[in-house]
């Protein structure tokens, strides 16, 4: 049984998580870097090793970590991911190959966490995601540019989240 995902030394834990996140659930792309930040944040709440690597702060759209932006830029420059004209972040063929290899080093629990978080966000609008996260982690909403709008629409958003 595998102890942890820290086997491939050439990639940081965050790089591995991002590649596997983009791979699971049929390799569906993630629309927007804001959404990707939120996905990584939620994954880090369950995976302590990842949480220890990151330093999220309150920002324009809630929780934000500059390291994630830097890693995404590096993965794109190295040809593992692409951000297309629709702002979809997705794996290249090189990224798929690497993600398949990395996936073998993850435990079942780690894969399940990543899959469940990605599944949770599929089909949610950006406002629904922010409403969900701002209600659970209000400390990250203090500089939000969308907080007023989210609060104004909170009843509508709550109904859409919990039909």
The one-character DSSP state at 153 is T
- How many domains does one find in the chain? 1
Q: What pLDDT is stored for residue 7 in this prediction?
A: 44
Residue-range definition of the domain harbouring residue 74: 13-124
Residue at 4 is within a domain: no
Gap between the Cα atoms of 21 and 32, Å rounded? 14
CB 57, CB 65: distance < 8 Å: yes
pTM for this entry:
0.87
Residue at 39 is within a domain: yes
Query: Which run of H or of E encompasses 30?
Result: strand 30-31
CATH code where residue 117 lies: 1.10.10
Residue at 78 is within a domain: yes
Q: What pLDDT is stored for residue 13 in this prediction?
A: 93
Residue at 28 is within a domain: yes
Residue at 73 is within a domain: yes
Burial degree of 46 (CB within 10 A; 0-12, 13-18, 19+): middle
pLDDT means per 10 residues in the chain (163 residues)?
Answer: 48 95 94 93 93 94 95 96 94 97 94 95 89 92 90 80 67
Residue at 160 is within a domain: no
């Amino acid at each position: 049984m595998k102890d942890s995902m820290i086997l491939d030394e050439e990639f940081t834990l965050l790089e591995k998580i991002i590649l596997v996140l983009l791979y699971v659930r049929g390799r569906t792309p993630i629309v927007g870097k804001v959404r990707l930040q939120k996905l990584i944040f939620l994954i880090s709440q369950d995976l302590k090793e990842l949480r220890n690597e990151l330093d999220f702060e309150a920002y324009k759209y809630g929780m934000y970590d500059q390291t994630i932006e830097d890693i995404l830029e590096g993965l794109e420059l190295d040809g593992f991911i692409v951000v297309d004209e629709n702002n979809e972040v997705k794996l290249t063929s090189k990224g798929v190959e690497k993600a398949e290899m990395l996936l073998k080093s993850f435990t079942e629990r780690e894969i399940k966490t990543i899959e469940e978080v990605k599944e949770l966000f599929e089909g949610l609008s950006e406002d629904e995601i922010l409403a969900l996260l701002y209600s659970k982690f209000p400390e990250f909403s203090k500089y939000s540019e969308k907080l007023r709008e989210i609060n104004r629409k909170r009843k509508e958003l709550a109904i859409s989240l919990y039909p």
